Amino acid sequence: MKELAELALDTAKFKGASYADIRLCRNRNQYIFGRDKRIETTADTEDAGFGIRAIVNGAWGFASSFRLEKEEIQRIAALAVEVAKASSRLLKQPVELVPEPAYQDHWQSPIQKNPFKIPMEKKIDLILRINEEMLKVDGIKVATAFLNFNEIAKYFASTEGSFIEQDLMFTYPNFTAVAVGAGDSQTRSIQVPPEQKGYELIESVDWIEKARKTAEEAVQKLKSKEGTAGKKDLILMPSHLCLTMHESIGHATELDRALGWEADYAGTTFVTPDKLGTLKYGSPLLNIVGDKLLPGALATAGYDDDGVKARRFFIIKDGIFVGYQTTRELARFVKEKESKGCAYADSWSSFPLQRMPNIWLKPGDKPLTLDQLISDTKDGLLFDGTGSFSIDQQRYNFQFGGDAVWEIKDGKVGEMVKNVAYQSKTTDFWGSLDAVCSQEYWENWGVFGCGKGEPGQSARMGHGSAPARFRRVNIISGGGKL
Amino acid sequence: MILEEKEIKSLLEGIIAENPGKEMNVGLSANETGSTRFANNAITTNGVYSRLNLYVEVTKGKKRGIAAVNELNKEKIREAVSRADALADVAPENSELMPSLGPQTYPKVPALYFPGTAEFSPGQRADAIISVIEKAKEQNMTAAGFFETSSSSGAGLNSKGLYYFLNSTRSYYSNTLKSEGGSGWASAEAEDVSKIAAKELSDRAMKKALDSRSPKSLAPGKYTVILEPAAAADMVWFLLYNFTAREADEGRSFLSLDEGKNRLGEKLVSPKITIYSDPASPENPAFPIGEDGLPVNKTVWIEKGAVKNLIYTRFWAEKKGRGPVPFPSNIIMEGENQTLENLIKSTKKGVLVSRLWYIRDLNPMILLLTGLTRDGVFWIENGKVSHPVNNFRFNESPVNVLRNVEMMSRPGRVVGGETGQSAVIPALKVKGFNFSSVSDAV
């Protein structure tokens, strides 16, 4: 691997690159899908290749190929240089990378059981048993399930002397029950997050118990009343809050968006650089950490795709916006001397973009249980799991539904309600945060398929929190008839 | 091209021949793409990508295993076959698994492959972008965008003799122009890159960016709305995404009726509406090959307001005693002999919407969608565009949109701003469109 990498870097330098790096990756994916006690898909796929970035005359060029051969590596390195030359005709500011030490290292996801070594029969059996348990519940019409295991071997080398090997493993279980009746249909999913773990994640869950409860809740949801519009206090569980954080804080504090680099597609952000250090993003309870170190979280790695060592940093501290997510290229635009390590490419064939690290909400400092939080809430809704989600291209106006929603009346969890969502404006919403449960309620969740960039790339990141309360948020009803 | 048809066919035949007696489907896709992004009046990233996928499916009665690799050496190919074979062994019987198809006849479609697109270089992309950026600078605007050209080969072969091969090219250009307080967007897709008029698309986006400066505030509510074709395309694609017979028959869709029935044949929307898909469309030629290698023929989805067809998988079609209807590869919606200007002229009070964004399902039983407007929203008064207004979130169903269409322009080919999928579609004038809140985004 090192020999191929050196060949690429030497070729790029020889052709005129002032900087070059190469990522050689192998990606294996196992996907098993079942429905109604039948296995519809058993797939085991693999893909390998390399991508070379080069800077020439201050401009980036990138080329990639699936042919892992010496001649092809030389051709692609030369092509990356040629592409950079074409880009340099339209240069506004030359690319400058903030310094980062060179590393020779190996890092791997701290897994206990390699999912690819677990017999397929065992995985199939689990899916069938969960399907069966869900379908035993009266009112469940459809039960679907998938198990997805993904292993990535990544080798990064740069002309600055880094040679970094990383082995990552992801496990993503998903089980859903669909209840149908009386002209309606509602779904409920087992709430277990995808993580950067091995098969131990699957073995740590009592799936059959969860399957039964989930299916029963799907039926309850079907029979529940329609939610009504109005202002309510919200208690958002970590399984739900992960996506609200992701969309309204994670994407909003990406520096490439703030600089206009995503203007044509994903959009820009209301969090413009002049607001760094001053913007009141939310209440003083809002402390958001960007983190590539969090064990088991989806964006955790030893190094990012710029070869920057993983780190942890504040994005929002005591409610004030204090830090963007950056890469080696972006850091200087906010006068920072080092990168926050947020470069990521979803494949060997993709150009690394600034992507979200794990982003999480710090738990409350004072002891606060979920029961206490509920007891202290008179007129609210409790959201568990994620539902419909949508946010504008500058991250002001959002609307989120949930996987399951319950009323809270006079300090007690009451009936389930269906077809509700909340709408708010980012800073109003986070400004209304008035309680966060303490550390023992903190859970790490995540987003497995976050889209960004042109051509589009998909990324994964963890989002942890404890249950949190937001005061008087606007609820909308999504019910009705055609 | 990465590989010639002869080479691909021989490779696939070799795999089948090496495994006599096995029921197999094998496929190969290869793609070369070049793309350039720009933002803040400069190129930001520029790349060339070369990808390949070899797909192997082994079927044993009602059991199937799938494997894929992207290396074409013998060892890797054998490994893929062996993995698929082992998976087929351990997979339990799937009562819904359909047998592999034999040879099929595909509809003839207009040319999908243009050498000029396949050979389009980074320098040529830069030339087009430079002219856009220079004009943006003259106008004190900033331009951001994306220009991509690609060529692809796709082939499939199975042990029952089904074979297809298709070469295609695609070019896509999108740009967003920002003025002080305004934003405009335009995009286009074509098989032949010479049909991408970057200058015209940048002029259109520039005009929107200028016209949308300093928007006045407009309260949310129900309005008569004119959806420009790109916005209409997103709404109609979301309708078609949900046009599946099985979900309808299982009581899980807006197309469901009681007792396992569906709305096939029902007058669902305005009698003005006719929507079909046709890979042989000269305006929007598309792939004629669908699920399992099924031919994708012209399919009418809605005719004069009535539901004419739903998407039927092979299994569901057999269960219901019908022929399969694959997922559409394009959308063609009939319009009226009007221009967008005529739609505006006919509107006493209304809102003109350029683009929709971040659309998601909220309630599948009424196909309630939520999403936002973007890159130019305008108030229309007494037949004229009066002034720009703020962006909105909408909570609305495409079924209601198509029920409430009052007037349509002539259709044209566009790409949906949210779905990224192309359609030949008119601008729609729609009454009672529900904007649920204001978005401060510009």
* Per-residue pLDDT reduced to its tens digit, B100-154: 999 999 999 999 999 999 999 999 999 999 999 999 999 999 999 999 999 999 9
Instruction: Give the per-residue pLDDT at A94.
Output: 96
Instruction: Give the per-residue pLDDT at A91.
Output: 82
**pLDDT tens digits, one per residue of A177-206:** 999 999 999 999 999 999 999 999 999 999
A264·B87 Cβ contact <8 A: no
Measured between CB atoms, which of B42, B67, B361 is closest to A90? B42
Q: Where are the domains of chain A?
A: 2-223, 226-477
Beta strands A420-425 and A468-477, pairing class:
antiparallel
- What average pLDDT is seen over chain A? 97
Average pLDDT over residues B10-15: 98
pTM: 0.97
Torsion, Cα B145 B151 B156 B162, to 10 degrees, reads 110
Q: Confidence class of residue A9 from pLDDT cuts 50, 70 and 90?
A: very high
Q: Is B243 exposed, middle or buried (0-12, 13-18, 19+ CB in 10 A)?
A: buried
Torsion, Cα A257 A263 A264 A266, to 10 degrees, reads 40
Looking at the DSSP assignment, which residues form a beta bridge with residue A382? A235, A406
Burial B109-122 (b: 16+ CB within 10 A, else e): beebbbeebbebeb
Pick the CATH number of A2-223 from 1.50.10.100, 3.90.76.10, 3.30.2290.10, 3.90.470.10: 3.30.2290.10
Residue B16: Cβ within 10 Å count: 17
Q: Is B9 exposed, middle or buried (0-12, 13-18, 19+ CB in 10 A)?
A: middle
Instruction: Give the per-residue pLDDT at B1.
Output: 53
Cα of B366 vs its chain's centroid, Å:
22
Could you give the CA distance from residue B156 to residue B65 in angstroms, rounded to a whole number?
Answer: 17
Residue of A nearest to B358 (CA): A390
**pLDDT tens digits, one per residue of B215-250:** 999 999 999 999 999 999 999 999 999 999 999 999
ipTM for the assembly? 0.96
Residues of B with CB below 8 A from A423's CB?
393, 436-437
Look at residue B427 and tell me whether its pLDDT is greater than 80. yes
Look at residue A252 and tell me whether its pLDDT is greater than 80. yes
Instruction: Give the per-residue pLDDT at B50.
Output: 92
At the topology level, CATH places domain B5-209 in PmbA/TldD fold (3.30.2290)
Instruction: Give the per-residue pLDDT at B3.
Output: 77
- What average pLDDT is seen over chain B? 97
* Interface subset of A 309-338, CB within 8 angstroms of B: none
Look at residue A224 and tell me whether its pLDDT is greater than 80. yes
Residue B221: Cβ within 10 Å count: 12
**Percentage of chain B surpassing pLDDT 70?**
100
Backbone dihedral region of B170: left (phi > 0), alpha (psi from -120 to 50 degrees) or beta? beta
Q: Where are the domains of chain B?
A: 5-209, 210-232+335-439, 237-331
A180·B125 Cβ contact <8 A: no
Q: Is B73 exposed, middle or buried (0-12, 13-18, 19+ CB in 10 A)?
A: exposed
* Interface subset of A 367-396, CB within 8 angstroms of B: 388-396
Burial A70-81 (b: 16+ CB within 10 A, else e): eebbbbbbbbbb
A392·B49 Cβ contact <8 A: no
Could you give the CA distance from residue B167 to residue A227 in angstroms, rounded to a whole number?
Answer: 51
Q: Confidence class of residue B336 from pLDDT cuts 50, 70 and 90?
A: very high
Residue A83, chain B, CB below 8 Å: the answer is yes
Average pLDDT over residues A402-429: 98
Look at residue A85 and tell me whether its pLDDT is greater than 60. yes
**pLDDT tens digits, one per residue of B258-296:** 989 999 999 999 999 999 999 999 999 999 999 899 999
Q: Confidence class of residue B2 from pLDDT cuts 50, 70 and 90?
A: low
**Percentage of chain A surpassing pLDDT 70?**
100
**Percentage of chain B surpassing pLDDT 90?**
98
